[in-house]
Structure 1
Amino acid sequence: MLVPTLEEVFRAERGKLLRYLTRRVGSDHASDMVQEVFVRAAGSRQAGQLANPVGFIRRITRNLLIDRARRRERNKIVMFPLDEERELSVPPDQGLQIEAQDLLRIYNDAVACLPEKTRRVFLMRRDDRRSYQQISEDLGIAVDTVKYHIKRANAHIVAMVEAHR
Structure 2
Amino acid sequence: MHPADRPPQCRQRREGDRDLEAAYRAHRSSLFHFLRRKAGAEEAPDLVQEVFARAAGSEQRHHLTNPGGFLRRIAQNLLIDRARRQKSSRATFYPLRDEGEGAAPAAQEWDLEAADLLRLYEAAVDALPPKTRRVFLMHRVDELSYREIHEALGISIATVEYHMMRALAHISRVVDDGR
Same fold (TM over 0.5): no
Question: Which protein shows a greater Rg?
Answer: 1
TM superposition score category, shorter chain reference: 0.3 to 0.5
Instruction: Point out the structure with the larger helix share.
Output: 2
TM-score normalised per structure 1: 0.44
